[in-house]
Amino acid sequence: METKTLKRLTRLIAPYRIDDGKKFKLKHVDPGDTGGLGSEYKDEASEWLQQTIGWLAEEQEKLFAQDKWAVLLIFQAMDAAGKDSTIKHVMSGINPQGCEVTSFKVPTSNEIDHDFLWRTNRRLPERGRIGIFNRSYYEEVLVVRVHPDILVRQKLPRGLITKKIWKERYEDISAYERYLTRNGVAIRKFFLHVSQEEQRRRFLERIDDQEKNWKFSAQDVREREHWDDYMRAFEDAIRATATPHAPWFVVPADNKWFTRIVVAGAIVELMEGLGLRYPVLADEQRAELLTMRQRLVPRKRNRS
Ligand code: ATP
Ligand code: MG
């Protein structure tokens, strides 16, 4: 990517990148923020996004060819914040064979029978691939924290459920992410931060627009009543788990065009930082290739 474009992107996303959780407060990020770009930038942003998507596709080829790093992108948000559409847009140029999206729903009874990292661990991307988690183990300190009755149903030994359980889960998640990083899994986490008002507007649209009816869920409206508890849970989780190697991006999500550009920018920054290159062959391998080449080139017929 051109240095100028890369610099511009890096500057744009910097305010939303949380490396050090201790200093973070959710109120520092306005869901309606568009990084100082007015809506007249919408078209330019979408052009920019297209360029970025093309560049990402090339980087993914290198990631795949190099077969060393794995990339894990985690998306968390309140309902209707735009997780699905952001994933769809940002990853639209990517070769499907090098990328896998997994959505984590209410755990099944089989999943409940295991430790809470079990089900996500099985879906981690292989080296050379991009794995996208649409919801993740973070649900264990979000929805489960907001609804303690879920915790009661988790079949944990009684003595393990104490007041410290959330702190312990943050520690376990942080240790796990450090472990993954040390094994060559590059992690980025995105909280798409939508305002309660914009969520209300989007829910109403799902009711009023017939083509969007299928997206509407009464449960989502009920969940919305716990808004403040969710915001506290998000803030605490981000504060406890944002690190330089597994940063959170708290992405303003009231304007979809801006959400997409920030997410795309963060992925560009990550890939750029990995210094991906196509593998270079050793001299002997190169010599062998040339021998093979000769075999493939049709021999000239003998005229006699
Ligand atoms: P969409 O609505 O766009 O299809 P979604 O991610 O909202 O996507 P749903 O099936 O509507 O999917 O919701 C999944 C639900 O599963 C969410 O309410 C989420 O909080 C819940 N969930 C995910 N992980 C856990 C977990 N570990 N424990 C309990 N509930 C969970
Ligand atoms: Mg849903």
pLDDT at 3: 84
pLDDT at 40: 80
| pLDDT reading at 156 higher than 90 | yes
CA distance 29 to 71: 26
∠ CA 267-32-187, nearest 5°, is: 20
273 Cα to the center of ligand 2, angstroms: 33
217 Cα to the center of ligand 2, angstroms: 7
pLDDT band at 173 (very low <50, low <70, confident <90, very high): very high
Residue 197, class by beta-carbon neighbours within 10 Å (0-12 exposed, 13-18 middle, 19+ buried)? exposed
| pLDDT reading at 55 higher than 70 | yes
∠ CA 22-261-279, nearest 5°, is: 90
DSSP string for residues in 219-260 = HHHHHHTTHHHHHHHHHHHHHHH--SSS-EEEEE-SSHHHHH
192 Cα to the center of ligand 2, angstroms: 14
- Residue bearing the bigger pLDDT, 83 or 298: 83
pLDDT single digits (tens) 71-107: 999 999 999 999 999 999 988 989 999 999 999 999 9
Domains of the chain: 3-296 (3.40.50.300)
- Residue bearing the bigger pLDDT, 42 or 271: 271
Distances, alpha carbon 63 to alpha carbons 35, 78, 94, 222, in Å: 30, 31, 12, 42
pLDDT at 41: 80
pLDDT at 253: 98
Please check whether residue 251 is in contact with residue 30, taking contact to mean a CB–CB distance below 8 angstroms: no
CA of 112, nearest ligand number: 1
pLDDT band at 239 (very low <50, low <70, confident <90, very high): very high
CA of 88, nearest ligand number: 1
CA distance 138 to 265: 23
Residue 82 beta carbon below 6 angstroms from any ligand 1 atom: no
Residue with tokens 């060393």: 68
Secondary structure class of 83 (helix, strand, coil): helix
pTM strictly above 0.85: yes
pLDDT at 44: 82
**β partners of residue 102:** 133
| pLDDT reading at 293 higher than 80 | yes
pLDDT single digits (tens) 29-48: 999 999 988 878 888 888 88
Which range is least confidently modeled, 50-54, 68-72, 236-240, 269-273? 50-54
Percentage with pLDDT > 70 across the chain = 99
Which amino acid would we find at residue 173? I
CA of 117, nearest ligand number: 1
Which range is least confidently modeled, 26-35, 50-59, 252-261? 50-59
pLDDT at 303: 64
Residue range 202-218: mean pLDDT, rounded: 95
Q: Which of 111, 116, 140, 143 to mutate to test the pocket of ligand 1 (most atoms within 8 A of CB)?
A: 143
End-to-end Cα, the chain, rounded Å = 56
pLDDT band at 304 (very low <50, low <70, confident <90, very high): low
193 Cα to the center of ligand 1, angstroms: 17
- Of 25, 263, 73, 277, residue with least CA distance to 180: 73
- For residue 120, which phi and psi values (nearest 5 degrees)? -75, -35
144 Cα to the center of ligand 1, angstroms: 11
Residue range 124-131: mean pLDDT, rounded: 97
Q: How many CA atoms lie within 13 A of 154 on its CB side?
A: 21
In terms of DSSP bridges, do strands 99-103 and 130-134 run parallel, antiparallel, or are they unpaired? Answer: parallel
Strands, E, within the chain: which ranges?
17-18, 70-77, 99-103, 130-134, 185-193, 248-252
pLDDT single digits (tens) 103-119: 999 999 999 999 999 99
Burial 87-122 (b: 16+ CB within 10 A, else e): bebbbeebeeebbebbebeebeeebbeeebeebbee
Residue 81 beta carbon below 6 angstroms from any ligand 1 atom: no
| pLDDT reading at 274 higher than 70 | yes
Q: Which residue's C-alpha comes closest to atom 3 of ligand 1? A: 84
